[in-house]
Amino acid sequence: MEDARLDHQELVEIVEELHAADSLEETAEQVIAYLCETLEMDAAGVTLLRGNSRLETVAATSDLVVEVDEIQEKCQEGPWLSSDWDQTLRVGDLGRETRWRDWTSGLSERGFKSLLAVGLPIQGRRIGVVSLYSCVPRFFDEDDSALAHLFARHAAVALVRADREAHLQLALDSRKLIGQAQGILMERFGLDEPRAFEVLKRYSQHHNLRLRRVAEMLVQTRALPPMV
């Protein structure tokens, strides 16, 4: 890889854009767009590792990338779910890769010949993977890996920030919704705020529904589900 691919100022601007992205998805899309263009790859994706060996493809340049992630999750076989590699996976010839046969067969069927993947690290833990696919055999050198890792480190921080902000917004929205539901109960039945909350909580436990969902139903229908 030539150093001229990205000069210092270009790299600074790209990193600033990553950290300024409005959402997790936008951050991930920027990462794979930059890497695909710079490393001249045919497809790319960002996959997050969720609980219970669940994979979430948060960005992909092609539906084929989503499909190969789905193969891993369905078969519970593949590099994203494996500890059999460190933070870098370079496969110049997928046809010769024998560790994950179902997954590599799926890649070959979709026309992919080579793969460069790097982990998204946070505090020494891999929270996801940036994957880059080529439809022609490729040899990936240390410079290619270094550039992918550079983006991955910044992307990991930006992705965690975006994810936390999304959860924070969801929590704020839930609090607002529950407050609206409490207000309806207080007005209709003359309850005080703590008592109205206890009513919502009781319905939540009785119907095995999240408190947010009970509040949402009450706000939308102006009625609670029957206690049967």
CB environment 201-225: b (16+ within 10 A), e (fewer) = eebbeebeeebbebbbbbbeeeebe
CB 124 within 8 A of CB 156: no
For 107, the token pair is 């890649």
What pLDDT, on a 0 to 100 scale, did the predictor assign at position 109? Answer: 92
Beta pairing partners, 130: 46, 118
User: What is the rounded distance in angstroms from the CA atom of residue 204 to the CA atom of residue 220?
Assistant: 16
Asked whether the predicted pLDDT for residue 48 surpasses 80, the reply is yes
| 166: confidence class by pLDDT, cuts 50, 70, 90 | low
Integer CA distances (angstroms), 169 to 19, 158, 162, 163, 209, in order: 18, 16, 10, 10, 21
pLDDT digits (tens, 9 = 90+) for 49-102: 887 778 999 899 999 999 999 999 998 888 998 887 878 899 999 989 888 989
Dihedral pair phi/psi, residue 120, rounded to 5° = -95, 105
Express as a percent the part of the chain with pLDDT over 70: 83
| Helix (H) or strand (E) run with residue 207 in it | none
- Estimate to the nearest angstrom the gap between the alpha carbon of 158 and the chain centroid: 11
| 4: confidence class by pLDDT, cuts 50, 70, 90 | very low
pTM exceeding 0.75:
no
Asked whether the predicted pLDDT for residue 217 surpasses 60, the reply is yes
Could you tell me the sign of the dihedral formed by the alpha carbons of 31, 32, 37, 39, in that order? positive
Asked whether the predicted pLDDT for residue 205 surpasses 60, the reply is yes
- The dihedral over CA atoms of 128, 85, 62, 156, expressed in degrees to the nearest 10, equals 30
* Range 175-183 average pLDDT: 85
